[in-house]
Structures are given as C-alpha cells and as structure tokens.
Amino acid sequence: MDAVLQSVLPRFFPEGSVQSCSRYGCGHINETYLVVTRDGKRYILQRISSRAFPDVEGLQENIAAVTRYLHGILENPNAALTLVPTLDGKNWYHHGPDSDWRVFDFIEGSVCLQSPQCPGDLYQSAIAFGTFQQQLSGFPAETLHETIRNFHNTPDRFRIFRETVARDPMGRAASVEQEIAFALAHEEVGSRLTEMLHAGVLPLRVTHNDTKLNNVMLDEKTHAPLCVIDLDTTMPGLSAYDFGDSIRFGAATAAEDEKDLSKMEMDLELYRIFTRGFLKACPALTAAERKALPLGALTMTLECGVRFLTDYLDGDHYFGISYPEQNLDRCRTQFKLVADMENKWKQMEQIIEEETWTMEKPVLVVMAAGMGSRYGGLKQIDPVGSQGEAILDYSLYDAHEAGFEKAVIIIKEAIRKDFMDTVGARLKNAPMEIRYAYQELSKLPQGYSVPEGRTKPWGTCHAVCCALEEIGNAPFAVINADDYYGKAAFREIYNYLSTHGDDDKYRYCMVGYEMGKTVTDNGSVARGVCRVNEDGFLDAVIERTRIEKHPGGIHYTEDGGESWVDVDEKATVSMNMWGFTPSFGRESRARFPAFLDQALAQNPLKGEYFLPSTVTALLTEGKATVQMLYSPDKWHGVTYAADKPVVVQALADMTKEGLYPDGLWK
C-alpha cells in the first residue's frame, strides 16, 4: 500500500480496521479502490480528480445534499449512494494538491454493466434514470452548485466553437468545411432548450448529466436497477439532458468513433424502449418536458459533435485520442446521428406521444346527458340506494375499487342544477377526481349551426367529443349513467386499458354480457348483439331494437311484432361499456364534420352520431380491433319505471352480502 493511501485511510477508518485496499473498476476520471475492513464490510474509496472538478467542495456538497435527501424519502438503503464521513465528520478529505478523497458504502448484491447485454438492460437504465429524476422532483435544484460551468449551455459551446474556427490554431479548418457548415447550420435548433429554460417553459431539475448504463447499479440476479452512481456531474439542468444523452449512446447503432458512417443511425426500437422506461419511472415530467425529449436527444448529440470538432480544431487537448483523427471521426458519427434523427423526427415525436399514453391512468367517462323517454324522467339521479344513491354512484364505487382514479361525467346544462344538487353533492365525498363535461347542441365544428327545430342531442359519439378536453391524453372507458354493470366489468376493462396500447392498429375493447342477464320483465329492450371471431375480437354489433322475454325464452322482432326470431340467452350483447385509447377521441372529432354533412342533408332533426357506428367504420377500414371482454354479472337498469323496485332490491341484497357499504360515500 502506497504512502498516500496509508495516510488517507485512517481519516475514514479506525486504526487497524482496514484489511485490504486495492484498485477497483475501470473509471477514467477518478481513481477507485475497494476497501475491505476486518469485519468483512466493503467500501468504495475514490480520489476525486480536481482537474476535472476544480470545485471539489461544491461537488461534495451536491452529493451530500442529494444523497441525504434520497435517504430521507427511501426505505431501501441500497437505493441511493451512502457517503461515509471522515472520522471528524466531513464528507471528504483534502490530502493535498489533486488529492481529495471520499468513501461510499459498497452496494452489495449489485452488478455494473459496461454495455447492454440485451434491450432489457437499456430499459432498466431508463427506469433507473427516470426514477432518479422522479425521486428528486421535489429537491430545490437551484441550490446545487454547477460542478462544470456551462456544461450543457449549448449556445456557449457554439461561441467557443466559432472562436476556435476563427483562430484555427492547427490549420485544420479548411479540411473540415463540411463539418463546420453542418454545425453552424444547426446552431439555432441547438440553442432552443436553453431558450426554453430561460423563458420558463421548461422547469429546472436535478440532472445526472452522465446517463450511461455503467452508472447504474443493477441487481446481480434480476438486473433490476438498484441505484444511480457517479454523481459528480449532478447539478441543475433539464430532464431533456439526461434523456438525450442516454439516447445519444444507447440508441446508436455504431461506436462513437466508427469510420463507416453508413453503420451509424438511431434505432427507433431502442429509442422507444428507453422512452417507455423513462416516462414510466418519471410521471412528474410536465407536458412541455415530455414534448421536449426528442429535442433533448438531438441537442445532446449535436452538442457532443460540436465539442469533438472544437477539440479537433484546437489540437485534441480535452478528449483523449488513440490516433490523430479520432475526434474528427467522433464528430462525424454524432453529426450523422443528428441527421438521422431529423429524418425520423415525426416517428420520434409519435413514440413520445404513444409512450406518454402508456403512463396515463385510464379515465372513466360516464354518459349522463340524456333523458329516459321510456322511463319518464331523469334516470341519472333517481335514487336506488339506501342513502339516496343513484345507479351512477354504484358504478363509480366499483370503478374506483377496480383502479380508476378519475371520472368525467357528461351532462347538459339543462339538468346541471338538479344533478349537482343530488349526485354532484354526494360525489364531493368520493375518493376520485370528478370532472364534468357538457354536451350541448351548439358544440359543433366551425361553420356548422344547429338546424331550426332540433332538440335531440347529437348522439353518444358527440358526447365523447364534448368530453375530450377533460379526458386528456389518457385511455378511457365509456359507460351509461343509468346501467348497473357490476364489479367484474370494471376490473376487466381497467386491466385491459392499463396494459394495452395502439400499435399497427387501434386496440380497443368492449365488455359483453349474456343476453339473458340483460332483459327486463317489464317490456322490450334494445340491445346490440355481438358477433365475435375465433380470435376473440368483435366483428360487428347488430342492433336489435325490440327484444322481449317470452314463455319459451327470448326473441326479437324487426317488423313491428308480425314475426319473431328466437335468440340464445347466452348470446353476447353490448351494454355500451367500451374501452378506448386516445386515438378514438381523435378519430371521433375528425369524422364528425362528415357525419354532419350527411345528417343535415338527410335527417337534420333526429340524425345521431353514434359511438358504435364510428367503431364499426374503423373496423371496416381495418384501422382498429375490439377485444371482447366478458362479465359474469347480471346487468341491472331502469328502462321502465317498473324496473326500479327490482334494482332497489338487488342493490339492497348486495349490500347485505357485503359487496357495498350501507352508504357508499360515508
């Protein structure tokens, strides 16, 4: 053991407690040693490079503050680095010039990979760095020191670059005019993130700024991330920096100094994999931050290319090289990567949008704007529970139990007061976010007006269009306010929406019921009979407008009762419980003008924009699939006033069985 180590170790460990101290790892900046004490405990000892980090005190204050904060919010001690203080209580020891030392607890049961062994390793690094951002989203980033000044100040990088080009100390500028021109042509786009930060569009975050896989400690058995290490460059910055730097090397298809530029591009699948993990782990990102992530990938890659080119022009003083033109080769690969990103820009933005959807929790949309013509009143607010609850209350209770945390209830202005005085007042005590949307005849695209004499609503698909602002960019389930669906249906549809997204097609779903569990003894009902293919997808919904019970079973008529056709009581029917990705909202809104053109010409007073009709159109066009889900529960509803006592008794029985409390929102 050399004299320096013999002098440093006693500052951290009691005399005689160290059993061994040996070089460890393959870091290029700091010297790292593994220390083993006589009780078998292991530690990491590092000599901090004061050449790379002149402000060692500020650097160590950053690490101490960040790790102290993390340990204050985390239960697992291995989920964050732990600084070991000197015996006199300091977080590092200054031994002399360029001899500053620190110690961390060794993270047992961990492994560090130098490169991904499979795409799953890249995903786990995304989870790690996204989690790091999420955990520190409440930390005051502005209190941290800037350990490397202007590290990601891209405009300043361009200033230095232009000055170096003008000086041309090595006489190399003439031979790289094409690279210089590429860099200068991208100065404006490279400066946008900095401008967005200064304008307050993007929030200041705690950023790691060196988001390589080998800065993540993984569980040695599962390769799940344990914690992020190498916090030397942790300082104030933008979330797009960490995301972008990961994409720059993690999604690249060639080495940083590859001479054959045809081998270098950005792999969109790897980009998607990292995006998915990063967004999943960091829901705290704002919408503006998520939108800026592709720009982060381009900016970090461009900035790195400019730095390589600057160093090449200046004589290769900063980045180590193993052959004369290595920095130029590095510059060219980065610029090729930037050009490839520009060619794939729309796909990059689309992937962010698609993966953002996967992190959005499903929303329940309740249609409560209509009047029950056969019922004779507002079914939406008619009490059926012991404490005055309506059927809607039970649906919201079941939905929340299944996992829904937000509901959007669609009503109309005409019933607003009655609804808010009854259901709305009760729902103030519900453990869900309740939002309201209003379906009005006048909510039409620009250039359209309500036909004179029209009072009928525009239909269920128009109702969805009216609720889109409240739904946001989330998957959503749609139900009727006056139908009791049962607990199983909400579990099925929530699980589907939480685990499925669009790919080459829109991936929707619907919960079906057995016909025999949805008919009433008090008259006819209208039901959509589902035709399901062998793969379990819905092929079509066939509307039967008059279905009735009879002594021999169930039948329907299409000619006013002159002839009847028997229906299997096990046949699957739709009760208008649909599950959609955000794409359905976009399609519904886009198709509404075409519906209006036809309806205003053919049936201006009664034409309706039905939700099943839009689904059918998308199925016919091959744009969508609808997965059939099934509920074993019995449907309850109040199609007729005589149905109400049956529903009241059924809910009372379920309350006695313990399925519901006596008073849902107590």
Domain chopping of the chain, boundaries: 3-107, 111-358, 360-656
Range in 218-227, 324-333, 339-348, 624-633 with the lowest mean pLDDT = 218-227
Q: Which amino acid is at 628?
A: M
- For the CA atoms of 571, 575, 576, 580, the dihedral, rounded to the nearest 10 degrees, stands at -60
Calculate Rg over the CA atoms of the chain: 32
Q: What would the mean pLDDT of 529-543 be, rounded to a whole number?
A: 91
Q: Given pLDDT bands bounded at 50, 70 and 90, which one contains residue 377?
A: low
Whether the pLDDT of residue 371 is over 80: the answer is no
Question: What is the structure's pLDDT at 266?
Answer: 95
Whole-angstrom Cα distance, residue 436 to residue 431?
Answer: 16
Q: Given pLDDT bands bounded at 50, 70 and 90, which one contains residue 406?
A: very high
Give residue-wise pLDDT tens across range 154-163.
999 999 999 9
Hey, what are 279's tokens?
């967004």
Instruction: With CA atoms as reference, report the closest residue to 451 among 596, 340, 350.
Output: 596
Whole-angstrom Cα distance, residue 128 to residue 230?
Answer: 13
Question: What is the structure's pLDDT at 286?
Answer: 87
Nearest 5°: the CA angle 507, 598, 609 is 45
Range in 268-277, 365-374, 492-501 with the lowest mean pLDDT = 365-374
Whether the pLDDT of residue 378 is over 70: the answer is no
> What is the residue whose two structure tokens read 């004299």?
3
Whether the pLDDT of residue 373 is over 70: the answer is no
Question: What is the structure's pLDDT at 74?
Answer: 83
Hey, what are 85's tokens?
């203080």
Instruction: With CA atoms as reference, report the closest residue to 297 among 270, 259, 265, 271.
Output: 271
- The H-or-E segment that residue 545 falls in is strand 538-550
Q: Which of the pair, 109 or 485, is modelled with greater confidence? A: 485
Q: Given pLDDT bands bounded at 50, 70 and 90, which one contains residue 379?
A: low
Whole-angstrom Cα distance, residue 375 to residue 268?
Answer: 55
In 197-287 the beta strands, taken as DSSP E runs, fall at 205-207, 216-219, 225-228, 235-237
Range in 279-283, 448-452, 490-494, 649-653 with the lowest mean pLDDT = 279-283
CATH architecture of 3-107: 2-Layer Sandwich (3.30)
Question: What is the structure's pLDDT at 372?
Answer: 44
Question: What is the structure's pLDDT at 120?
Answer: 75
Count CB-CB contacts under 10 A for residue 127. 20
Give residue-wise pLDDT tens across range 171-208.
999 999 999 999 999 999 999 999 999 999 999 999 99
Whether the pLDDT of residue 109 is over 90: the answer is no
Whether the pLDDT of residue 500 is over 60: the answer is yes
C-alpha dihedral sign at 333, 338, 339, 345? positive
Question: What is the structure's pLDDT at 285?
Answer: 87
Whole-angstrom Cα distance, residue 141 to residue 132?
Answer: 13
435 CB-near residues (< 8 Å, 6+ apart): 406, 407, 408, 409, 470
Say how far residue 115 (Cα) sits from the centre of its chain.
Answer: 26
> What is the residue whose two structure tokens read 């592709």?
294
User: Do 111-358 and 360-656 share a fold?
Assistant: no
Looking only at the bridges linking them, the beta strands covering 83-84 and 42-48 are: unpaired
Q: Exposure pattern of 401-428 as b/e (b: 16+ CB <10 Å)? A: ebebebbbbbbbeebeeebeebbbebbe
- CATH code, residues 111-358: 3.90.1200.10
DSSP for residue 537: B
Average pLDDT, the chain: 91
Question: What is the structure's pLDDT at 36?
Answer: 96
Question: What is the structure's pLDDT at 354?
Answer: 83
Give residue-wise pLDDT tens across range 544-561.
889 999 988 999 998 888
Give residue-wise pLDDT tens across range 26-83.
766 788 999 999 999 999 999 998 888 899 999 999 999 999 999 888 878 888 999 9
Q: Which amino acid is at 619?
A: L
Q: What percent of the chain lies above the pLDDT cut of 70?
A: 97
Q: Which amino acid is at 618?
A: L
Which residues are bridge partners to 100 per DSSP?
48, 94
8 CB-near residues (< 8 Å, 6+ apart): 45, 93, 95, 99, 101
Helices (H), 209-325: 239-250, 268-281, 287-314
Q: What would the mean pLDDT of 585-592 be, rounded to a whole number?
A: 94
Q: What percent of the chain lies above the pLDDT cut of 90?
A: 72
Question: Phi then psi for 365, rounded to 5 degrees?
Answer: -110, 125
Instruction: With CA atoms as reference, report the closest residue to 419 among 374, 467, 369.
Output: 369
Instruction: With CA atoms as reference, report the closest residue to 217 among 129, 139, 93.
Output: 129
Q: Is 152 exposed, middle or buried (0-12, 13-18, 19+ CB in 10 A)?
A: buried
Give residue-wise pLDDT tens across range 414-437.
889 989 999 999 999 999 999 999
Whole-angstrom Cα distance, residue 210 to residue 232?
Answer: 9
In 443-501 the beta strands, taken as DSSP E runs, fall at 476-480, 483-484
What is the fold, at CATH topology level, of the domain defined by 360-656? Spore Coat Polysaccharide Biosynthesis Protein SpsA; Chain A (3.90.550)
Looking only at the bridges linking them, the beta strands covering 216-219 and 93-96 are: unpaired
Whether the pLDDT of residue 248 is over 80: the answer is yes
Q: CA dist 513 to 1, 381, 396, 484, Å?
A: 77, 24, 19, 12
